[in-house]
Amino acid sequence: MGLSKNARLDWTNQLGACDISLRMGMGLEIRPYEPRDSAGLRQICCDTADAGQPVERFFPDREVFGDLLTNYYTEYEPQSTFVADQGGEVVGYVTGCLDTKRFLSTMKWRIVPVVLVKALRRGTLWHPQTARLLRANIGLWLKNGHRTGPTFDDYPAHLHVNVRQGFRGQRLGQRLVATFCERARDAGVRGVHAGVSAENAQARHFFEQLGFAELHREARLRKPDGSGDILFTIIYGKKLG
């Protein structure tokens, strides 16, 4: 489904007018998240978890992964999530948070404890794939527990964006990010950041094209394959002047 240059420019202009629900032809629109979108959003989250590849490449339980990656956004701050909708079906989303300190506190005290109990009940914690992941990473995660400094002060909001395979390269990702940034700017937020796997060249190019700049790199994951290799996350930031 190609789009003409004029159509692309129209979108950009509409965005400047801060239209939060945008129709894009072929039944596609960007609109605010609604509870009925939960299953579709979680499916895309799990299908794209590993730089666009399915979560099963490194974690065995979609239910637990979906809770960890989406519950804050859909249950505690749904007004900052937007979906790309085609005929009532979610084909892409941006989940976001205007205040990452609030996000971390909610994750620590409300979401992670509940998910841990669920993971225990479902046997996820004892799954060999989880055990390998934890063994390889627990030291790293305890050391790098949370980000501090300029990221939070200057870029307090953060976002995650994913588009279903077959719908990529049609400016949906760009529109979703722009819609979230518009909301954050309207709320008086100074800047937004996003983490991208250093190995995900396409996503890095995507964020750079949208005016995000590299702030710093963090060691986030040690490969559970025994190699000891560390995967880095690049934190990108953009000021919302």
Ligand X SMILES: CC(C)(COP(=O)(O)OP(=O)(O)OC[C@H]1O[C@@H](n2cnc3c(N)ncnc32)[C@H](O)[C@@H]1OP(=O)(O)O)[C@@H](O)C(=O)NCCC(=O)NCCS
Comparison of 53 and 105: residue with beta carbon closer to ligand X = 53
Does 12 contact ligand X by CB under 6 A? no
Comparison of 48 and 130: residue with beta carbon closer to ligand X = 48
Comparison of 119 and 176: residue with beta carbon closer to ligand X = 176
SS3 21: coil
Does 52 contact ligand X by CB under 6 A? yes
Does 181 contact ligand X by CB under 6 A? no
Distances (CA, A) of 209 to 109, 145, 179, 232, 236: 36, 30, 16, 21, 12
Comparison of 92 and 156: residue with beta carbon closer to ligand X = 92
Does 163 contact ligand X by CB under 6 A? yes
Does 206 contact ligand X by CB under 6 A? yes
Distances (CA, A) of 95 to 130, 138, 209: 25, 26, 20
Alpha helices by DSSP H, listed for 77-170, are: 100-106, 112-122, 128-143, 150-154
Q: Are 90 and 84 in contact (CB under 8 A)?
A: yes
Does 162 contact ligand X by CB under 6 A? yes
Does 15 contact ligand X by CB under 6 A? no
Rounded Cα distance between 200 and 80, Å, is: 25
What are the residues binding ligand X (CB under 6 A)?
A: 48, 51-52, 161-163, 168-174, 194, 196, 200, 202-203, 205-206, 209
